[in-house]
Amino acid sequence: MLQSGLVKYLRDGKGFEGTLIVAAVLYLLVFAAFPLIYTVVMSFQEVDMFTLGTLVRPFAGLTNYTDLFHRPEFAPIVWNTMIFVTLSIAFQLTIGFALALFFLQDFPGSTYVRGLFLAGWILPALVVGAVWRWIFAGDFGVLNYALQSLGLIDGQIYWLSDPAYALYSVIIANIWLGIPFNMILLSVGLAGIPGDVYEAAEMDGANVIQRFLTITLPMMGPTLGAVVALGVIFTLQQFDLVAALTQGGPANASNVAQYWSWQMSFQTYEISGGATVATMMIALVIVVAVIYVRSVQREQSF
């Protein structure tokens, strides 16, 4: 009786859909939420190769955090991360927006050609990194050749081994990776602005630039917010490119927080250090994610 009641609940009642949600949420709790909490816990513990195998580890208080702040590489890496995120997003967004506006025009094959850009999004970032490494090559790289032909530089730039350029090389490759996604999302937003709004503005005497400033930009506000938030999230996830291009070098010149955290855990086995960086970064990402969800909700009501 009890069993048939359960079967009925699952087939006909609210149980069916509830079970489906619970199964997925449980999986996410075990493999995403639990590690999340575990990172925070480890950032307050002494974790290294010797305590790795035990469950109960010495409580370290805020030592991990203070140690981290006193490391000489802390400030440069934080700075690098900020530059990495800011420049990546600024250029992805600008180029993506420009392309989205361009492809909004009516010409044959516009959708198809626009779609070609997504190839950059779909390729594994590690492979993209490998290809860019070859493009950036100092002596025989095609980028140096192109810049020289255009008369922009005289000698060779050692993109990946010169500390002055290493970070910017990673940023350039990351911008390349991020353009298609920005463009597609912004295209969706642009397509959502009804054409008669533009016609009305034209009747009111607004020229192209005025229409862009007074109609397009304000109406794209929520979309731009969402795209920037997603940009921050994706940029802070970027690990493969750094691994393929510079491994954070030379001398941390191109190191960013998400790579540093991994280096500490897996290369120098300072697991508490890795967990501490991860905790701070995850807190940041979650704040951005909340902004993103808010901004999407605002967009839907609009």
Instruction: Report the site for other proteins in 85-104 (rule: CB under 8 A).
Output: 99, 102-103
Q: Are 19 and 10 in contact (CB under 8 A)?
A: yes
Q: Are 47 and 278 in contact (CB under 8 A)?
A: no
Residue with tokens 């087939």: 11
Among positions 168-197, residues that touch other proteins (CB under 8 A) are: 176, 179, 184-185, 187-189
Cβ proximity to other proteins, 112 vs 203, nearer residue: 112
| Contact status: 27 vs other proteins (CB under 8 A) | yes
Give CA–CA dist 216/207, Å, rounded.
Answer: 12
| Contact status: 133 vs other proteins (CB under 8 A) | yes
Tokens of 148: 């020289």
Out of 35, 58, 61, 194, point to the residue binding other proteins (CB under 8 A): 35
Among positions 136-155, residues that touch other proteins (CB under 8 A) are: 137, 139-142, 145, 149
Total number of residues that touch other proteins (CB under 8 A) = 108
Cβ proximity to other proteins, 133 vs 166, nearer residue: 133
Cβ proximity to other proteins, 94 vs 237, nearer residue: 237
Among positions 259-288, residues that touch other proteins (CB under 8 A) are: 259, 261-262, 265-266, 271, 274-275, 277-278, 281-282, 285-286, 288
Beta strands of 84-197 (E only): which ranges?
none
Angstrom CA distances, 173 to 97, 126, 245, 255, stand at 18, 11, 9, 15
DSSP string, 172-220: HHHHHHHHHHHHHHHHHHHHTS-HHHHHHHHHTT--HHHHIIIIIHHHH
| Contact status: 24 vs other proteins (CB under 8 A) | yes
Contacts of 196 (CB under 8 A, 6+ apart): none
| Contact status: 32 vs other proteins (CB under 8 A) | yes
Q: Are 103 and 182 in contact (CB under 8 A)?
A: no
- Shortest separation between residue 176's beta carbon and other proteins, angstroms: 7
Tell me how many degrees the CA angle 48-53-57 measures, rounded to the nearest 5: 60
Among positions 199-238, residues that touch other proteins (CB under 8 A) are: 223, 226, 233, 236-237
Cβ proximity to other proteins, 17 vs 204, nearer residue: 17
- Shortest separation between residue 290's beta carbon and other proteins, angstroms: 7
> Stretches 81-89, 195-203, 208-216, 289-297: which one binds other proteins (CB under 8 A)?
289-297
Tokens of 121: 């999004």
